[in-house]
Amino acid sequence: MNSKKTAKSFKMIILSFIAATQIFPLYWLITFSLKSNAEIFGENVIGLPKAWRFVNYSTALTDGGILRYFLNSVFYSAATVAVVAIITAMAAYAIARMKWKLKAAAFGIFSIGIMIPSQAALLPLFQTMDKLGLKGGYLGLLIPYIAFGIPMSVMILTGFYKGIPKEMEEAAYMDGCGIFRCFLAIMLPMVKPAVATASIFTFLGTWNELMFANTLVDSADYRTLPVGIMSFAGQYSTDWGLIGAGMVIATLPTILIYFLLSNQVQESLVAGAVKG
Amino acid sequence: MDKMLGKKSYIAVFVLPALLIFVSFVMIPLLISGTYSLFEYDGIGKMRFLGLQNYIDMFTTDRYFPKAVVNSIVLVVASLFIQLPVSLVLALVLAHGVKGEKFFRTVYFVPVVISSMVIGQLWMKIFHSEYGLLNILISAITGSTFDYSWLSNSKTAFLSTVIPAVWQYIGYHMLIFYAGIKSISTEYYEAAQIDGATKWQTNMKITLPLLTPVIKTCVIFSITGSLRAFDLIYVMTGGGPNHASEVPATLMYNNLFRRGLYGYGSAQAFFIVIECLLFTFIISRIFRKSEENASAI
């Protein structure tokens, strides 16, 4: 019995140690974002701030231009999530339920998409957006984000539709319900959890994306947070508190969404990966 | 109902928006990259057909590419042999029920949702020679000032980017494993308990074999993710110092957008695609056999 207890506490020590390594860098980031350089660089490296410098945040938001980047990122992410959710909910329904010869081929094309590293499309996208006159504006980045968000979402939703029994739909069609109404009123409410799951993936991918944002946008007016913070960190390289504040601002939305929806995130991951 | 679900115009309305956007902005660009990779092209002048010469040059005349490939393989190995085993053990421990199961699950996943840019900047500061946490810790332990510059020394620069890369996604794989374990029917475990199997035996004989498809998924994600790695390295070292920490993706990016080598850079981009598809194929082949064994249980 005693050895069982030792094993148990040993387990807890290991689990807690790894939890500490996973969370400590984030703790450090948050504390130094509220400190002065004097504290960060010697007086108080890992403790809580002695004087809480919220001014780091207001300076980053206004002088550093982070507010603009933040709003841009919100726009890109929200628009991508909305468009991807709508068009993939429809496409996945067509693949899972409708009767057509090429649906296996269409599904195959989407599933290749998951394997494709985004850098392989970067240069042609850069040229296409340039030719269309969209490069450097909102659409020039938004369209690639939507396109690359599609395959994962189609996969998750198709799997989910297939698990839904057909009786409800059949009854609705019998009653003379049209396809669009049936889709909107019966199918969409049933796949809501899967749409939420897929949307979380889309959101994280878009919000955190760096390479496309760095290449397809040059003006600060359309810049996203990751690129904005990178140039900001170069500009104020010696002011760690200020950089830290910018990084916390960039991280806060994803952490908040994760904590609010962590059950959904975890269930969805299970659904996506275990089936795939 | 069949009539409605088979009507061509309805199908088109449902499937075409996603399909057209995806094909136009993912698949066609991919094919264009593949075509460019066979040419010498600077984006403005004429394209000159080279056949596979770009691919040959990468390994014969390019001073940095072979080293970059080796670096990406190091990253693959670190992910496979450090990240995945740690994730798997954590998942096994958590899935069999411990106090604070949900707390640990949530905490382990936190780094996954943070942007690589932030992770990169943060670890740059951890590795900072004067004020970084790592050197402060070493100084405190040894009692003398330690100010080694991890990221600007060509011996340690790449390794310093591998650590956060492995660290960041432990929670991701842990969660996939965890979900896989949870979806295994409890009947197996009940039977094992009746037979008096130890925990270790249960893990080795029941959980792991039944988890094979999930392990396959994680191995593929882990390998392809490492082969295409870009963000962390771009942020932390930019491939430097003196190209010591380049990976194929950073070299490709430089060739395309700094040096204007559209043909050659595209060949490097396409090389990454081929690598990813090849490894996916090989891993699926390797696992096919053990999956067959697992289904025999």
pLDDT by residue (tens digit) across A200-235?
889 989 999 999 999 999 899 999 999 999 988 888
Distance CA A227, CA A72 (A): 11
Q: Do residues A171 and A117 both lie within one domain?
A: yes
Query: What is the pTM assigned to this prediction?
Result: 0.92
A276 and B217 within 8 Å at the Cβ level: the answer is: yes
Residues 54-83 of B with CB under 8 A from A: none
Count of the separate structural domains present in chain A: 2
Mean pLDDT over A179-192 rounds to: 89
Q: Do residues A231 and A260 both lie within one domain?
A: yes
Element (H, E) at B135: helix B133-142
Calculate the alpha carbon distances from A208 to A201, A227, B90 in Å.
11, 10, 26
pLDDT at A3 exceeding the cut of 80: no
Element (H, E) at A65: none
> B202 near B192, Cβ under 8 Å?
yes
Name the H helices within B195-261.
Answer: 199-202, 208-210, 212-227, 231-236, 248-257
Calculate the alpha carbon distances from B46 to A124, A148, A239, B32, B262 in Å.
16, 31, 48, 16, 12
3-class secondary structure, A212: helix
Q: Do residues A199 and A257 both lie within one domain?
A: yes
* Facing B33 at nearest CB: one of A106, A121, A230: A121
Q: Do residues A17 and A93 both lie within one domain?
A: no
Q: Do residues A216 and A261 both lie within one domain?
A: yes
Q: Among A15, A34, A53, which residue terminates a domain? A: A53
Least confident of A20-34, A48-62, A119-133, A165-179: A165-179
Low pLDDT (below 50) residues in chain B: none
Q: Do residues A239 and A174 both lie within one domain?
A: yes
The ipTM assigned to this model is 0.90
Q: Predicted confidence band at A275 (pLDDT cuts at 50, 70, 90)?
A: very low
> A267 near A202, Cβ under 8 Å?
no
Q: Which residue of B has its CA nearest to A249?
A: B118
pLDDT at A273 exceeding the cut of 80: no
* Facing B272 at nearest CB: one of A46, A100, A117: A117
Calculate the alpha carbon distances from B48 to B30, B37, B263 in Å.
20, 11, 9
CA distance A208 to chain B (A): 5
pLDDT of residue A27: 93
Q: Give tens-digit pLDDT for A63-77.
A: 888 999 999 999 999
User: Higher confidence at residue B102 or residue A142?
Assistant: A142
| Token pair for A258 | 């994760």
Q: Do residues A48 and A136 both lie within one domain?
A: no
CA distance B25 to chain A (A): 6
Which chain B residues have a beta carbon less than 8 Å from that of A11?
93, 98
Q: Give tens-digit pLDDT for B149-185.
A: 999 999 999 999 999 999 999 999 999 999 889 888 8
- With a CB cutoff of 8 Å and minimum separation 6, the contacts of B96 are B199
B10 in contact with A at a CB cutoff of 8 Å?
Answer: yes
Q: Do residues A10 and A82 both lie within one domain?
A: no
- Structural domain of A196: 62-275
A238 in contact with B at a CB cutoff of 8 Å?
Answer: no
Q: Is the Cα torsion angle B242, B166, B176, A81 positive or negative in sign?
A: negative
Q: Predicted confidence band at A276 (pLDDT cuts at 50, 70, 90)?
A: very low
- With a CB cutoff of 8 Å and minimum separation 6, the contacts of B113 are A204, A254, A255, A257, A258
CATH number at residue A89: 1.10.3720.10
Q: Do residues A30 and A92 both lie within one domain?
A: no
Q: Do residues A115 and A39 both lie within one domain?
A: no
Q: Do residues A12 and A85 both lie within one domain?
A: no
Interface probe for A, chosen from B21, B82, B88, B233 (most Cβ of A below 10 Å), is B21
Element (H, E) at A271: helix A262-275
Cis peptide before B241 (omega within 30 of 0): yes
- With a CB cutoff of 8 Å and minimum separation 6, the contacts of B43 are A127, B260, B262
pLDDT of residue B198: 85
Calculate the alpha carbon distances from B11 to A30, A190, B4, B18, B195 in Å.
50, 20, 9, 12, 54
Q: Which residue of A has its CA nearest to B94?
A: A15
Q: Give tens-digit pLDDT for A96-115.
A: 999 999 999 999 999 888 88
pLDDT at A89 exceeding the cut of 80: yes
- With a CB cutoff of 8 Å and minimum separation 6, the contacts of B262 are A123, B36, B41, B42, B43, B256
Residues 113-142 of A with CB under 8 A from B: 113, 115-125, 127-128
Calculate the alpha carbon distances from B122 to A110, B111, B232 in Å.
35, 11, 11
pLDDT at A263 exceeding the cut of 50: yes
Q: Which residue of B has its CA nearest to A183?
A: B14
> A122 near A212, Cβ under 8 Å?
yes
Distance CA A129, CA A150 (A): 19
B48-49 and B39-40 as β-strands: parallel, antiparallel, unpaired? antiparallel
A25 in contact with B at a CB cutoff of 8 Å?
Answer: yes
Q: Do residues A92 and A132 both lie within one domain?
A: yes
What's the mean per-residue pLDDT of chain A?
Answer: 89
CA distance A176 to chain B (A): 9
Distance CA B164, CA B7 (A): 52
